[in-house]
Amino acid sequence: MIAIFRVLAVVIWSILMISSSLVVLLLTWNPKHSVTMARTMWAPGILWTCGVRLKVKGLEHVDPSKSYVLVCNHQSYLDIPVLFRGLIINLYFVAKKELKKIPFLGWYMMATGMIFIDRSNRNKSIASLKRAAKLIKKGKSVIMFPEGTRSKDGHLADFKKGPFMLASQAEVDVLPVGISEPDGHFQVNAFRRLPIEINIGASISSNEMPASELIKKAHDEVAILSGRTQSIKP
C-alpha cells in the first residue's frame, strides 16, 4: 500500500511539475526557469514523498559562477532528485536518446536543453559529446554517472572515459560527488525516513594530467565521498 501511494504521488507530482515547467517555458522562452523549478520545487516534493532526509556536505567547493562536469556514483532512481535538490546550481543531464520517447519526461528534457547520446553508435556518441562541450562553454553544468549504470552490488564500478573527454573538450573542471545512504538502500514499500548524504569534493582540473590519471583520481575521490570500494572483478 505504501509503495502504491508513493509511486502514484511521484507520478502525479512529476506530471504536474513538468506541465507547469513547460507552461513557464512557453511564457518566458527561458529554459533556465524550468530547470530552476525542478531544483526548487519538483525535487523537494519527490524527496518528501519518498521520506528522504537529505544532508549535504562540501558546498563550499561549488562556485555558482563556474561550469563543471560533475561525476557521481549511481545507486538508485532517487539520484536525480537528490542531486537537483542538494546542489546550489542548475544541472543538466547527459542521457540516452531513448528517454526522448517517454511522455512528459522526454518533452521536458528536450525543451530544457538536456543532452542526449546515441550509445549504439560510437561516432554519433562522440558528436553528441562535442555538442555538449559547446553548451558547457556557454555556462551549463552537466552531471554524469561514469559507471554507466546503477550499482547492483554496493561497489563503485570502473569509470567510463566519456565524462572526462567532455570536461577536457569544454575546458572545465571535473567536480566529484558522492551519494551515500548510511542506513541502507531506499525501499519504496518501507514507511520510514531515509537519510541520504551528498558529499562534494574539491574540483579537479581536466587539463593538468593525462586522461588515465584524471579518471583514476576522480574514481578514488568518488569512492571516498560515497563510502564505496572499487568493484571486485572475478
pLDDT tens-digit map of 151-176: 766 789 999 998 999 999 999 999 99
Indicate the DSSP class of residue 157.
P
Comparing CA positions, the residue from 131, 105, 104, 108 lying closest to residue 118 is: 131
pLDDT score at 75 = 84
Phi and psi of 175, rounded to 5°? -115, 110
All three cell numbers of 26: 512557453
Determine whether domain 52-226 maps to CATH 3.40.1130.10. yes
pLDDT of residue 160: 92
CB atoms within 10 A of CB 216: 14
Q: pLDDT tens-digit profile of 15-28?
A: 999 999 999 999 99
Chain mean pLDDT for the chain: 89
Give the pLDDT score at 119.
74
CA-to-CA distance for 13 and 21, rounded, in angstroms?
A: 12
Position 232 pLDDT exceeds 50: no
Measured between alpha carbons, how far is 93 from 1 in angstroms, rounded to an integer? 32
Q: Which pTM does this prediction carry?
A: 0.90
Q: CB within 8 A of 4, min separation 6: which ones?
A: none
Residue-wise pLDDT tens digits, 196-230: 999 999 999 999 899 999 999 999 999 999 988 65
Per the model's pLDDT, the better-predicted residue between 146 and 194 turns out to be 146
Highest mean predicted confidence (pLDDT) among 2-11, 36-45, 115-124: 36-45
